[in-house]
Amino acid sequence: MGLKNFALTKLALNKRLPFNTVPMITEWDKYDVQLWANVGTDDTFEPQKYVEPCYRLVNEILLPRGEPLPDALLIERQRSRSGGSPVVNEWVFRVNMLEAMVHSMVYSRICEERSKIEVISASPQRMGYYWKPLDDEVKGKVAKKFRVGYVEQLLADFVQSSDPKISVDPHFALQKFSGDYLSQVMNSSQSHSRGTFGAEKGDDLVDALLHALAWIQWQANKTVMKLEFISGVEDAMKKVDELYQSHTEQMGNAWMAQQNKAKKGKGKPTVATTKHSLKYDPNATKAVEQELDSIEK
């Protein structure tokens, strides 16, 4: 989240089978908030200057009036320092202020509509560590490039594979060709034109999606672990090891595939496959179904 790069992703899941259905991306966009809200780019950063843009972001974009509220809302936690500086950069201050205002206005909507939305302050560090290989080389800008390539392949699998792990709403109109699906997403923006509002970089869009996908996987894994603990601690610990090994292996394979493709000089590095990288456990699905049935009774 930021003033120039406010990225968001909205995902839809089957509520009865949340961990055994492919998430569909219904919205995936990015804004230069100052231009979008016509705030201006002068040096003033009084709180009242950002109240209206923040109000519009919450009530027009994040939680549009007249539409059903989501079950969960993840808001990326913003840094308090920049580049290791011991002081708070002015731009960081502005973004922190926007983050606090968003949380406040979201809470106000929740109280107003008496909703049970789960609001999560999502850590970018946790997300970054989750979507990376164990290789020590993968950090900083390299890790960011890896995530971009990984999401590019998720999109490629959706367009080209019969067993994709994400789905994309038809309004994005992704066309089948070699690579650059993320660019197609940016060009298909319904909210603004890429040229006018400067959505040139795709890494913010990538991180917005991966925050959501990581959270879904964590929820699925928590459900699986609850079932395993019924059998006993030993079974639960074994399952923890299996989940860890499976995920780290997939990230490692993705990293090697990107490296191999880059060495061959075949254009933008992407991963070879994401077939097993997003898993939806049938046992977790069954548990959720049973819980829903008991509530309905």
* pLDDT (tens place) for every residue of the chain, 297 residues total: 657 778 999 999 987 777 778 999 999 988 888 778 776 665 566 778 888 888 999 999 999 999 999 999 999 998 765 555 555 567 777 788 889 999 999 999 999 999 889 999 999 999 999 999 988 888 888 999 999 999 998 999 899 888 888 999 998 888 887 568 888 888 776 554 444 444 456 888 999 999 999 999 998 888 888 888 888 888 888 888 888 888 988 899 888 888 888 877 655 444 444 444 455 444 544 554 554 455 454
Q: Is 77 exposed, middle or buried (0-12, 13-18, 19+ CB in 10 A)?
A: middle
Neighbour-count burial of 167, counting CB atoms closer than 10 A to its CB (0-12 exposed, 13-18 middle, 19+ buried): middle
Cα–Cα distance between 177 and 51 in angstroms, integer? 43
Q: Is residue 74 part of a domain?
A: yes
Query: What is the torsional sign of CA 67, 220, 5, 148?
Result: negative
Instruction: Give the DSSP letter of residue 295.
Output: H
- Within a domain: residue 266? yes
Q: What count of other Cβ atoms lies within 10 Å of the Cβ of residue 130?
A: 17
Assessment of whether the complete model's pTM goes beyond 0.85 = no
Q: Rounded CA gap, 190 and 25, in Å?
A: 14
Q: What's the total number of domains in the chain?
A: 1
Contact partners, residue 189, CB within 8 Å, separation at least 6: 29, 30, 199
Question: What domain range includes position 201?
Answer: 6-296
Residue 20 and residue 16: Cα distance in Å, rounded?
9
Counts for the chain of helices (H) and strands (E), in that order: 10, 5
Classify residue 196: in a domain, yes or no: yes
Question: Amino acid identity, residue 265?
Answer: G
Residue 89 in domain: yes
For 63, what's the count of Cα atoms within 13 Å in the CB-facing half-sphere?
24
Q: Is residue 1 part of a domain?
A: no
